[in-house]
A and B are shown apart, each in its own frame.
Chain A
């Protein structure tokens, strides 16, 4: 067997391998347990959880685009109490670290969700989502200016000692400024990229396909943008970066790690093949083994560190 050390560390969290799921593409993992043992993943990152139930956006909620898709789900979720009683209780029985994605319309809502989850031993880390493009208030509005991003992270940091990951939006002029701002407020890691703001117009109806007009672009189409942003952010901050955006195979994951990601997440590809995550984890180990790389962490930032 391979002797590659696949363990990575994100804040207080030690993961058995660097491959996790991207929030919103994996439910809470239950739907995927029919296809593989979740214990083979580095971590499960849940869909976004808010203080109260959110109903999400009108249909249609997705539209396919070249090598990708736009989504406008709108963070539909049953609220933190129902989440804890349902999905989290189930996840607690699985042998996999749990990272809960936290959303809110206001900074105090993020803090209230974080405070509630702070008391749950099944929650290993929080991912603060300041980058969802599909809600009118909150979401991406917090992730596109440094003061707003800092305010949310400060309010969440104040109520929990759990490992705090902040998910960044690519829809900014300079992503490194936002990354520095959240690091300064005590973020233990950042994850990027969330989806890119996009639009598809139906040339038969002359109207946008999605009822809100805009949606978030994901899938292989965004990968070069994501790799570039991980490259920039990893060199700008000291805390770990979790890289994502169009990963479909082990090579894609390696690309993100070479750009500076300490861990990676698989998103849209879960819809194409529900076993993509485990395929990426196994393949990444082979990627290292065949190159004589002993620790997967040796890949991190190697594209710029060795220049």
Chain B
């Protein structure tokens, strides 16, 4: 793992492009030299989409790729912030706080990795797969989406992974079913040294369970509603076996074995 840690900073960024890349998903490319040079795989930026809207909070986004002084973000329109983001055009100016958070850990001596991505969970996997490939690690990617048209970053993954297999809910590409079927098969067949997971939390929980049974270490990138993004406000807590952690600074990547997945039993209110 890269040992140099870059302190987060506020950086003004300029929109380079903003376009649809899959059904319901767009990619915005931002000119952000400082952040692009400092960000590690799995880290995120806290983006201030607009200064003139009635929504005030920043939005956290994984950095999908970082190159040539630019960062790429994949996003789905889900609310006010992403709707405003969709309207951004080249030369618009925004700002990010970044790079933030604790990213993916690539252990020394790893030979074989399984990357499991569900839906927009492909976003933090771009930089990861690039890093794994750089390190000469054999990568199998298992990717799931509702339909073929919603599979993300296919070209990047196909070019860098030894195997890239897919599952779709409607069977329009690959296996008809959940990506967790693929992850179970691959864990059995490939015996990876490390599994990396991002996607809807129930899917992450299932893959984490599969890894625990198989005795393979597993990292998950968790999503939470965030306020400050820098560890102060305690909005984005994750329940772990070592107490409450903050997704923004202790994560978003966690060792799956540390996460208390059964969140039906939250701590009692106000105590």
Determine if A34 and B8 form an interchain contact, defined as CB atoms under 8 angstroms apart. Answer: yes
Contact of B233 among A60, A73, A211 (CB under 8 A): A73
Cα–Cα, bound, A25→B232 (Å): 6
Q: Of the listed stretches B50-58, B115-123, B131-139, B151-159, name the one at the interface; the rest are far from the partner chain.
A: B50-58
Q: Which of B239-263 contact A (CB under 8 A)?
A: 244, 249, 263
Cα–Cα, bound, A59→B236 (Å): 8
Contact of A61 among B48, B54, B229, B237 (CB under 8 A): B237
Determine if B58 and A272 form an interchain contact, defined as CB atoms under 8 angstroms apart. Answer: yes
Give how many B residues have a beta carbon under 8 Å from the other chain's beta carbons: 34
Determine if B228 and A270 form an interchain contact, defined as CB atoms under 8 angstroms apart. Answer: yes
Proximity bits, A251-285, B CB within 8 Å = 1, else 0 = 00000000000000000101111110000000000
Determine if A271 and B233 form an interchain contact, defined as CB atoms under 8 angstroms apart. Answer: yes
Cα–Cα, bound, A211→B244 (Å): 17
B186 at the interface (CB under 8 A from A): no
Proximity bits, A19-62, B CB within 8 Å = 1, else 0 = 00000111100011011000000000001000000111111111
Q: Given A35-B9, A275-B10, does the pair A137, B270 have CB atoms closer than 8 Å? A: yes
Determine if B225 and A60 form an interchain contact, defined as CB atoms under 8 angstroms apart. Answer: yes
Determine if B269 and A58 form an interchain contact, defined as CB atoms under 8 angstroms apart. Answer: yes
Q: Which of A67-100 contact B (CB under 8 A)?
A: 67-69, 71, 73-76
Determine if B227 and A69 form an interchain contact, defined as CB atoms under 8 angstroms apart. Answer: yes
Chain B proximity of A82: nearest CB distance (Å): 11
Proximity bits, B55-97, A CB within 8 Å = 1, else 0 = 1111000000000000000000000100000000000000001
Determine if B55 and A57 form an interchain contact, defined as CB atoms under 8 angstroms apart. Answer: no
Q: Given A59-B224, A74-B270, A272-B48, does the pair A32, B56 have CB atoms closer than 8 Å? A: no
Cα–Cα, bound, A270→B56 (Å): 11
Q: Is the interface of A mostly helix, strand, loop or mixed?
A: loop
Chain A proximity of B251: nearest CB distance (Å): 13
Specify which chain A residues have a CB less than 8 angstroms from the CB of B58 in the assembled complex. 271-272
A12 at the interface (CB under 8 A from B): no
Determine if A56 and B232 form an interchain contact, defined as CB atoms under 8 angstroms apart. Answer: no
Chain B proximity of A258: nearest CB distance (Å): 24
Q: Given A69-B57, A76-B244, does the pair A62, B227 have CB atoms closer than 8 Å? A: yes
Cα–Cα, bound, A154→B151 (Å): 63
Contact of B232 among A27, A60, A74 (CB under 8 A): A27
Could you list 10 A-B pairs, sorted by A, with CB under 8 Å?
A27-B231, A34-B7, A57-B269, A64-B56, A67-B54, A68-B56, A69-B56, A135-B270, A219-B56, A270-B232
Specify which chain B residues have a CB less than 8 angstroms from the CB of A119 in the assembled complex. none
Q: Given A58-B266, A71-B227, A134-B270, does the pair A272, B56 have CB atoms closer than 8 Å? A: yes
Contact of A57 among B57, B263, B270 (CB under 8 A): B270
Specify which chain B residues have a CB less than 8 angstroms from the CB of A136 in the assembled complex. 269-271
Cα–Cα, bound, A54→B236 (Å): 16
Cα–Cα, bound, A183→B112 (Å): 67
Closest to B263 in A: A59
Specify which chain B residues have a CB less than 8 angstroms from the CB of A67 in the assembled complex. 54-56
Determine if A273 and B230 form an interchain contact, defined as CB atoms under 8 angstroms apart. Answer: no
Determine if A268 and B56 form an interchain contact, defined as CB atoms under 8 angstroms apart. Answer: yes
Cα–Cα, bound, A27→B8 (Å): 16
B234 at the interface (CB under 8 A from A): yes
B267 at the interface (CB under 8 A from A): yes
Specify which chain A residues have a CB less than 8 angstroms from the CB of B266 in the assembled complex. 58-59, 211
Q: Which of B98-114 contact A (CB under 8 A)?
A: none
Determine if A31 and B270 form an interchain contact, defined as CB atoms under 8 angstroms apart. Answer: no
Specify which chain A residues have a CB less than 8 angstroms from the CB of B48 in the assembled complex. 272-273
Closest 10 CB pairs of A and B: A58-B266, A27-B232, A135-B270, A55-B267, A31-B232, A271-B228, A62-B235, A31-B231, A136-B270, A34-B7
Cα–Cα, bound, A64→B80 (Å): 10
Determine if A32 and B234 form an interchain contact, defined as CB atoms under 8 angstroms apart. Answer: no
